[in-house]
Amino acid sequence: MKQAGYVLIGLFLGLIMAGALMLVTRLPGGTPVKLEEPPTQVPIEVHVIGAVLRPGLYRFSEGSRVQDAITAAGGLSSEADVTTLNLAAKLEDGEQLTIPFPGGAAPTKLSTPGFQVLPGAGTPTPRAGLVNINTASAAVLSSLPGIGPTIAQRIVDYRTAHGPFAHVQDIMNVPGIGPATFDNIRNAITVQ
């Protein structure tokens, strides 16, 4: 009889353990949670010109600041006037940010006179008033895409030494301006 009691106790414990095992291994109820993909941020594009080392069109993430644009453009030139800049201002897609020279125009979010930034285009296209390479100052010349302060000064020095440019393509005679740079500025310059 003792043995029968042990068998019953063992059977009872086995049933309890089987039930506990079923509870533990059972699939949870309800519907599974599906995670959605995070939204993809579309980059914004800003045309940075003026007193920076590498003017041009740059892409930024939403929420980037003027300081980010200056850093992307190689930093400020030694001639930059930062007293009117708000380095914490947020950038907007399609804006043209002008970093001023001393005595120059304040930075603007509008297109500079003579240029219009087109969506998807890497260079400005001419509007009213092209930049005259025979009369423009180094500050104005450095606002052209791919022309920094050093190359702008070379243009001024070249025309001082050799006289005015007869044709816009003559600007390629200036050291540092090759066909690629000329292609970027050809529609923005004139000799008249």
SS3 state of residue 174: coil
pLDDT of residue 101: 80
Q: Where are the beta strands (DSSP E) in the chain?
A: 44-50, 56-60, 96-99, 115-116, 125-126, 131-132, 189-190
For the chain, which residues make up each domain, given as ranges?
A: 41-129, 130-192
Mean pLDDT for the chain overall: 80
From 1.10.150.320, 1.10.10.10, 3.40.50.1820, 2.160.20.10, which CATH number describes the 130-192 domain?
Answer: 1.10.150.320
Summarised one tens digit per residue, pLDDT across range 129-178 is 588 898 888 888 888 888 889 999 999 999 989 889 988 889 999 999 98
Exposure string of 129-141, with b = 16+ CB inside 10 Å and e = fewer, is: ebbebeebebbbb
Strand 44-50 with 56-60, pairing: antiparallel
SS3 state of residue 50: strand
Backbone angles phi, psi at 117, to 5 degrees: -85, 125
Q: Which residue has the higher pLDDT, 26 or 136?
A: 136
Q: Which residue has the higher pLDDT, 110 or 56?
A: 56
Whether residue 116 has pLDDT greater than 50: no
